[in-house]
Structure 1
Amino acid sequence: MSDHIQQQALPSNPGIEIIPLGGVGQFGGNCLIIKDLESNKSLAVDCGARFLGPEGHGYRFGIPPIEFFKGLGQDFLGFAITHGHEDHIGALPFAHEVAPAPIWAGPFTGEMIRKKFQRKHFSPPDIRTIAPNNAISVGPFQLKWVTVNHSIPDAYTLYVQTPAGALVHSGDFRLELNPTLGPPTDFSTLSKIGDQGVLCLLSDSTLAGAPGKNPGERSVVAPTQKVFESSPGRLFVATFATHIQRINTIAECCRTYGRKLSILGRSMREKVQMAQQKGMFNLGDVWEKPEAHLLRAPQEQCWLLTGSQGETGSALWRLSEDRSTIKHLDENDTLLVSARVIPGNERPVAALLDKIADRGVKIFDGRDGRHVSGHGHREDMAALIRATKPKFFIPLHGGVQQLKAHKNLGDELGLSNVQLLELRNGEKLRFDGNGGTTHEVRVPLPEPWVNDEEVNPAPFETVFARSRMSQAGVLLGFLSPGKDQIRLEGRALGATDFSPLLNNLGQQMTDYLMEHYDLPYDEMNKKLCRMVNKTFRQQHKNSPFFILV
């Protein structure tokens, strides 16, 4: 499908292409390619992971199709990073391995990326530290990072000047002008960029359905203080390791209510140490090591933990399983889950909190103002559209419902159908040298899935097999050297008369093989699979996954 839209004439130029590889039409895995058609040079904005739930069957997260980066070859210039959340940097080690190129990021984000590469034992990347509002040239592009407020330090909107016109990539943002920690969103610079002319705004859609304006981190302080006031014993606070503003809010409450603070969880200790080294805040007067914290009276203890998403092995999970250095939880303890539950994590979070509640622990979640998102609401989004005054507008970062809600917001603000553009992962949009657009719909590349360091570029056959085995069991068929006999071993879940059925099936297969021992392996395997399915489904709902050895 193509549609051409002609605008006012610009100097003749082949133009640019933008191609989202992730994060557009589904949450996570954010990655956008910007390609200059005259020089053939391209740049990636972010390269994140998409976390998987039970549907992963052992795979932890999906990543953008890294084979695409191979195809860019020597014309690929590098990665421009907006901030350090996993859905924006989690795939970098894997993409960088096939396309080793510079990574531009802020100082806090750059340190996070460096440690990520070290932990995964990848080759050290060439990380180039940027400064806010300091323009740099990268091939045919000029890049400028503009400070915005988000739920992690060092977050930026990216301003990209291209031969076809200026692009604004919002990153993740909220228009908070009076934060509790760190700089506010630089709305003045964003407005000046809009006055200079913006070809296209590409903007985060995560909370496009949320009315009003994001109230900001300061709104969380009073509800959090109420939790401190109502907690007579030990207080445990689970939040995101990178949410330095929230950690600072908890530290300030500790100072106010006479508690000290200690941290459980490697990831959180690492991020807090990094933030202090970068001069973002200082916990020196309130923080102490766990060994010293354990000696304090319960009403003086406040523990920061990872595990707000119910992650197995996290500090909160270990605490619930009595695998922590802290004494058993009891009815005098309080837990504040100072975070939202990321979609897909509802079941593990509920199971974990049920286990903790069964100990008598009083639990507060993120409702009633105790948590606020780092993403802008509709008024934040509208303010960015008004400030940048784009000729074209493309919603990014969200599921289809969020993208459409964001597009509708643009319509409410007076943008025409010509100006409002929609993309999905793998689609290509060209801005030509005369100000027109061409939209090409194509079949997206498969999303690779990752388990530890193993990358499966086409995981669905493996996932199907694992799903089948988890639901119905597995059956192994061992062929004799002459391929005329077979021995069956395994387990069929839900089959109460498994042994007689297996004996009968084995005899059927042997009878068949006696006459067809010379069949090619693939044909023999298909025939035996059909026999397994037919035999089991005559008596049971499911048939075990069959593997011919």
Structure 2
Amino acid sequence: MSHPHPELRLPGKLPADGLRVVGLGGLGEIGRNMTVFEHRGKLLIVDCGVLFPEEHQPGIDVILPDFTWIRERLDAVVAVVLTHGHEDHIGGVPYLLRERKDIPVVGSTLTLALIEAKLKEHQIKPTLNRVKEGDRVRFGPFDLEFLAVNHSIPDGLAVAIRTKAGLVLHTGDFKMDQFPLDDRITDLRGFARLGEEGVDLFMTDSTNAEVPGFTMSERELAPAIETVFRTAPRRIIVSSFASHVHRIQQVLDAAQAHGRKVAFVGRSMVRNMGVARDLGYLRYPDNLVVPFDQLDRMAPTKVAIVCTGSQGEPMAALSRMANREHQIRVSEGDTVLMASSVIPGNENAISSVINGLTRWGANVVHKGNAKVHVSGHASAGELVYCYNIVRPANVMPVHGEWRHLRANADLAIRTGVDPERVVIAEDGVVVDLVKGRAKITGKVPAGNVYVDAQTVGGATETSLKDRRTLAAEGVVTVLALVDSDTGKLAEPPDFLIRGFVQDPDTFQAAVPVVEKTLARAAAEGIGEPHQLEQMITREVGRWTYKKFRRSPLIITIVVDA
């Protein structure tokens, strides 16, 4: 089994008959999935998603893949193929198309409708290429065939990529639900047919590789959802991913059966459900869904609300309800149904939302106390089944944290794949398929690109560290008037303190520290204000830690007296 090493450098030139595979996201993490294929001077992109921030990334809206490696070669991109409509696979497309608007976007009907609605907000009119299972199209040197896969959103596709270097099968996110709500099952016959042709590289969803057996069917959730609607004494508030059409269909069916009207809350929820209904993926009577502003005139026992915020996102509707910042006031007797799984890293945020809702008297039904969610990803039994019918020459696990990738790789080996042909790659690691053999050959930049409101890439790890310091330790501003002729203080410095528990007067003991620092600077011939600010910041920071065992953000301003 091969895996990345820290000493990897930029890869060499790709052989003319080779295929280069570079994951710029989704390898070693859950989110921002993006894979670039290079062959004969052309690039094909599969998925371009976002990663949602964690608590240690304050102020960040989403995290994008790093486009650095392809930025100077955007003209070589023949298409971006989207496997399905989840944000972690399509959310980065608007930012990619900002850099080249005419890149062809390829996907299924629902996927393209969701991305088109999103792109309207960015004022981008895309070049769309609609495909369905069974279609076979060519973009440059890439011959693409699409296969149906079952996932937690309709219209998911796997993609087979044929090139002169070999055949790649990329599953996208998938599972093998034998009783899906839309009766559209994963095309295992197609997988087996490709296996007979000879799959040179099999790129498989790793999210549930640690979970034994087979993933439960979506239909098995119906009893738990029905129980909530049958027993809830007042309003029902359901939170879900805004793209989880299947789950919301189940909620609508239960609401209709129990005489409740439904209102969608949250911009993305309203937008996506409108798109899904227009295309026929969501079905309900005209009078079942009502505008949000009509709820106040209805009895609580006749109301169901479907909103965003199942992952504890701070600006989503459910989090704002929990914090009493939303016009929907959760009260005693309300039932909140959190119909989604926990994305790794969101555990604390979700727990905080559950506690907040419970505080206001709500009964919170979630995955921990009821069967209200089914994963959209194949478990170990399904992955083994696929390995056995595809019989790939090389395997590259995708979509998962390191432990998921490793578990998936182990499954491949147990089914008979040569360990030397199982490649575990992290973001940025380059895998070349040459003469039927996949090997790691280098690494390209693949850092986090932060979106902070309207700014893309402006926030850095350094600025995030400053934000964390501000939140945890506070800030001390040192205002020093310095005589440029003598290099001494013209008057005692001011210490302005925010978020630091000590009284400002205690910092008068730091005046000698500033004086000594200025004296040392004068002796060394240093008089430039910026350099003086750096020296004072450093010394006052040391003094603060020594005295208080705290490291607030120190900001020094030197003014020429």
TM-score by length of 1: 0.91
Q: Does the aligned pair in 1 maintain the 2:433–2:439 contact within 8 Å?
A: yes
- Distance change (3 Å), C-alpha of 1:253 and 1:527: same
- Choose from 35, 39, 47 the match for 2:38: 35
Q: Give the equivalent residue in structure 1 for 2:79.
A: 78
For the residues of structure 1 that align with 2:475 and 2:516, how far apart are their CA atoms? 18
How far residue 228 of structure 1 moved from its aligned partner, in angstroms, is 1.9
How far residue 131 of structure 1 moved from its aligned partner, in angstroms, is 2.5
Q: Does the aligned pair in 2 maintain the 1:214–1:376 contact within 8 Å?
A: yes
- Choose from 520, 531, 539 the match for 2:547: 539
Superposed, 1:59-70 pairs within 5 Å as 59-70=60-71
How far residue 133 of structure 1 moved from its aligned partner, in angstroms, is 1.7
- Choose from 392, 395, 407 the match for 1:390: 392
Q: Does the aligned pair in 2 maintain the 1:69–1:98 contact within 8 Å?
A: no
How far residue 19 of structure 1 moved from its aligned partner, in angstroms, is 0.9
How far residue 296 of structure 1 moved from its aligned partner, in angstroms, is 3.1
For the residues of structure 2 that align with 1:414 and 1:342, how far apart are their CA atoms? 31
Q: Does the aligned pair in 2 maintain the 1:337–1:365 contact within 8 Å?
A: yes
Secondary structure of the residue aligned to 1:54 is: coil
Structure 1 stretch displaced more, 53-62 or 450-459: 450-459
How far residue 194 of structure 1 moved from its aligned partner, in angstroms, is 2.0
Structure 1 stretch displaced more, 174-183 or 441-450: 441-450
Q: Give the equivalent residue in structure 1 for 2:258.
A: 257
Q: Give the equivalent residue in structure 2 for 1:313.
A: 315
Letter in 1 for 2:69: F
Q: Give the equivalent residue in structure 1 for 2:228.
A: 227
Superposed, 1:17-32 pairs within 5 Å as 17-32=20-35
- Choose from 527, 532, 537 the match for 2:535: 527
- Distance change (3 Å), C-alpha of 1:106 and 1:232: same
- Choose from 465, 473, 496 the match for 1:490: 496
Letter in 2 for 1:490: L
Q: Does the aligned pair in 1 maintain the 2:451–2:459 contact within 8 Å?
A: no
For the residues of structure 2 that align with 1:546 and 1:292, how far apart are their CA atoms? 52
Secondary structure of the residue aligned to 1:274 is: helix
How much identity, in percent, do the aligned residues show? 26
For the residues of structure 1 that align with 2:88 and 2:494, how far apart are their CA atoms? 45
How far residue 489 of structure 1 moved from its aligned partner, in angstroms, is 4.1
How far residue 521 of structure 1 moved from its aligned partner, in angstroms, is 5.7
For the residues of structure 2 that align with 1:387 and 1:81, how far apart are their CA atoms? 25
- Distance change (3 Å), C-alpha of 1:168 and 1:545: same
How far residue 245 of structure 1 moved from its aligned partner, in angstroms, is 0.3
How far residue 457 of structure 1 moved from its aligned partner, in angstroms, is 6.4
For the residues of structure 2 that align with 1:480 and 1:127, how far apart are their CA atoms? 61
For the residues of structure 1 that align with 2:233 and 2:113, how far apart are their CA atoms? 38
Letter in 2 for 1:29: R
Q: Does the aligned pair in 2 maintain the 1:488–1:502 contact within 8 Å?
A: no
Q: Give the equivalent residue in structure 1 for 2:405.
A: 403
Q: Deviations over 1:372-401 (max 9, x none)?
A: 011111122122222322111111111111
Q: Which runs of 5+ in 2 are unaligned?
A: 4-14
Q: Give the equivalent residue in structure 1 for 2:59.
A: 58
Q: Give the equivalent residue in structure 2 for 1:343.
A: 344
How far residue 519 of structure 1 moved from its aligned partner, in angstroms, is 4.1
- Distance change (3 Å), C-alpha of 1:333 and 1:455: same
Q: Does the aligned pair in 2 maintain the 1:182–1:280 contact within 8 Å?
A: no
Letter in 1 for 2:285: G
Q: Give the equivalent residue in structure 1 for 2:11.
A: none
The reply on whether 1:281 has 2:282 as its aligned counterpart is yes
Secondary structure of the residue aligned to 2:282 is: coil
Q: Deviations over 1:3-59 (max 9, x none)?
A: 9xxxxxxxx9521111111111222121111111xx211111111112121211222
Structure 1 stretch displaced more, 41-50 or 380-389: 380-389
Letter in 2 for 1:491: I
For the residues of structure 2 that align with 1:455 and 1:342, how far apart are their CA atoms? 24
Letter in 2 for 1:495: Q
Q: Give the equivalent residue in structure 2 for 1:218.
A: 219
TM-score by length of 2: 0.89
Structure 1 stretch displaced more, 230-239 or 517-526: 517-526
For the residues of structure 2 that align with 1:485 and 1:104, how far apart are their CA atoms? 67
Q: Deviations over 1:93-152 (max 9, x none)?
A: 222223442221222222222232332x35433222223221111000011221211111
Q: Give the equivalent residue in structure 1 for 2:17.
A: 14
Letter in 2 for 1:307: G
Superposed, 1:135-150 pairs within 5 Å as 135-150=136-151
Q: Deviations over 1:152-185 (max 9, x none)?
A: 1221111111111111111001112321136222
Structure 1 stretch displaced more, 535-544 or 490-499: 490-499
Q: Does the aligned pair in 2 maintain the 1:293–1:301 contact within 8 Å?
A: yes
Letter in 1 for 2:238: V
Superposed, 1:450-465 pairs within 5 Å as 450-456=451-457, 459-465=460-466
Structure 1 stretch displaced more, 213-222 or 463-472: 463-472
Q: Does the aligned pair in 2 maintain the 1:234–1:300 contact within 8 Å?
A: yes
Q: Which runs of 5+ in 1 are unaligned?
A: 4-11
Letter in 2 for 1:68: W
The reply on whether 1:87 has 2:88 as its aligned counterpart is yes
- Distance change (3 Å), C-alpha of 1:457 and 1:232: closer
Q: CA RMSD in A?
A: 2.5
Superposed, 1:200-211 pairs within 5 Å as 200-211=201-212
Secondary structure of the residue aligned to 2:456 is: strand
Q: Give the equivalent residue in structure 1 for 2:12.
A: none
Superposed, 1:120-159 pairs within 5 Å as 121=122, 123-159=124-160
- Distance change (3 Å), C-alpha of 1:144 and 1:533: same
How far residue 202 of structure 1 moved from its aligned partner, in angstroms, is 0.3
Structure 1 stretch displaced more, 401-410 or 259-268: 259-268
Q: Deviations over 1:170-210 (max 9, x none)?
A: 10011123211362222222222222221111011001111
- Distance change (3 Å), C-alpha of 1:485 and 1:102: farther
For the residues of structure 2 that align with 1:254 and 1:369, how far apart are their CA atoms? 18
Letter in 2 for 1:25: G
For the residues of structure 2 that align with 1:301 and 1:458, how far apart are their CA atoms? 42
Superposed, 1:301-380 pairs within 5 Å as 301-326=303-328, 328-367=329-368, 368-380=370-382
Q: Give the equivalent residue in structure 1 for 2:104.
A: 102
